Amino acid sequence: MFKILVSDPLAQEGVDILKKVKEFQVDVKHKLPPEELKKIIKDYDALLVRSETKVTKDIIEAAANLKVIGRAGVGLDNVDLTSASKRGIIVMNTPGGNTMSTAEHAVSLMLSLSRNIPQADVSVKKGEWERKKFMGTEVYGKTLGIIGLGRIGTEVAKRAIAFGIKVIAYDPFLSMDRANELGIESGELKEIFKRADYITVHSPLTADTKHIIDKNAIDCMKQGVRIINCARGGIIDEAAVLEGINSGKIAGAAFDVYEKEPPLKDNPLFKCDKVVLTPHLGASTEEAQINVAVEIADSVRDALLGCGIRNAVNVPCVDFELYKILQPYINLGEKVGALVSQLAKGRTQEIQIKYSGDVAKYNLSPITVAIVKGVLSPVLQETVNYVNSLIVAKERGIRVEEMRATMLEEYSSLISVEIKTDTGVRSVSGTLFTKKDARIVKIDEFHVDAIPEGYMIVAHNIDVPGIIGMMGTILGKNNINIAAMTFGREKPGGKTLSVLNVDSAVQEKVLNEIRNDKNILDATLIKL
């Protein structure tokens, strides 16, 4: 008998799927205090949540029997994924269940901004009749800039085109072929800021997307631009938007998500009549709630009954016995993919994967999906997983090629990943020492021996004395400890690649201090 706890409101259709299984005992307990959840979680095999329950490290450590955590939605901000993975707990989400609802909400907000619908509604209900005050603007013939062209961004684009709107999109993984297929234009951020009448964001919140729309970005925008955020709070700097509205630069803005949720009662957005606000309603439709409930219930049911794993963000979908064999290669492949992705510049067009030696004898598909997940995850975060990585790559027009060679002289197994972008080619190769000890052995043309974990600084420099001392001094004065280092060079006095493992994140100003040395060609911070 498996015990399942549903700790957040879930559509009854999903609960019913679980209750119909005779091997399951389903308990529905909402609004549990953290201490109460911590106390009872040891008795459960599966936990289903939405966004209210915070599945923290403490909760996971107390979950002695927990096998599956199911999130009825996309975001995993409320689940400690690292702790769950360390405990061998499968974490699942529903990446596609609320696509249509969120896309429709974004378009609704765009139309509301254009025609002042919320403000006019309030005015009429007060008994007023101020038609001139609420003069609107047509969306027909305007330009919509979309930042992030995943599932939701793509559906927004389709609906905008139906309105006669010109669409220009920015996505680091959007190929020109895919853009042409959708009937949109692919552009850089600065081009969107310069040309768009409306800007909507549909990307995950990452270090790179945090305040991607800030004061500097707004200064580059068209006069009278309108901005919409139905993605994640924090992608847009709310204070900068208010400043832009007050200055007349921005004609209006709409927020469904906020930097702090729920927003504080004294949030200045509440007092601005040119801002449309909704309480995180992107997925709040009857259809979306049923979709995510049914999808997560099906996934959790099948996982517990041994019928396969779907939509897992931390476990590939393979037979368990094969997984035990492939796990070291899967982990290595994902790290190789993430490393080369963070080194590459420009728009990814092709991912070439080469397996050599012993690893080439196995079923390689689980490793390939892990590599592609590694490539895409630094930008797409929780929207890409072991199930959908190849689909996401295909949707963006990225070619994935797989090759194998069983003969190898230098290493017993080698995984090499090459990324082709519109600006060049980068490659990384990795192997296993003692079958589990992952190592990066080659970056581009440089042979190295690097540990792929935590924070790494990868720097190209001229081979002259004092480079390591210089970097060590800069890191030391900023309280950043070097855990390991390795070097590769083409020839004495030529170009050298330096790889440093460090114990903590490195601020951009510290990286810039390293980059400013005349012998440093470039320096990149990697997070694995």
**Neighbouring-strand partners of residue 45:** none
Residue pair 34/56 in contact by the 8 Å Cβ criterion: yes
Is 286 a catalytic site residue?
no
| Residue located via tokens 């070291």 | 328
Which residues on neighbouring strands pair with residue 459, listed in sequence order? 498, 523
d(CA 162, CA 184) in angstroms, rounded, equals: 12
280 is a catalytic site residue: yes
* Residue 403 identity (one-letter amino acid): M
Query: Nearest Cα to 250, choosing from 222, 212, 285?
Result: 222
Using only C-alpha atoms, the chain has a radius of gyration, in whole angstroms, of: 25
DSSP string, 316-380: -SS-HHHHHHHHHHHHHHHHHHHHHHHH--S-EEEEEEEEEEGGGGS--HHHHHHHHHHHHHHHH
Is 232 catalytic? The answer is yes
Q: Give me the catalytic one of 50, 151, 232, 301.
A: 232
- By C-alpha distance, which of 466, 463, 461 is closest to 522? 461
Catalytic residue among 261, 287, 401, 410: 261
Length of the chain: 528
Q: Are 154 and 395 in contact (CB under 8 A)?
A: yes
Residues 87-117 as b/e (b if ≥16 CB within 10 A, e otherwise) read eebbbbbbbbbbbbbbbbbbbbbbebbbbbb
Number of other residues whose CB lies within 10 A of the CB of residue 9: 15
CB 363 within 8 A of CB 319: no
Answer left, alpha or beta for residue 185, where phi above 0 means left and psi between -120 and 50 means alpha.
beta
Strands of the 437-443 sheet, one edge to the other: 399-405, 348-357, 413-421, 424-433, 437-443, 446-450
CA angle 54, 56, 58 (to 5 degrees): 135
Which among 87, 115, 195, 280 is annotated as catalytic? 280
For residues 486 and 58, give the distance between their C-alpha atoms in angstroms, rounded to a whole number: 37
Residues designated as active site: 232, 261, 280
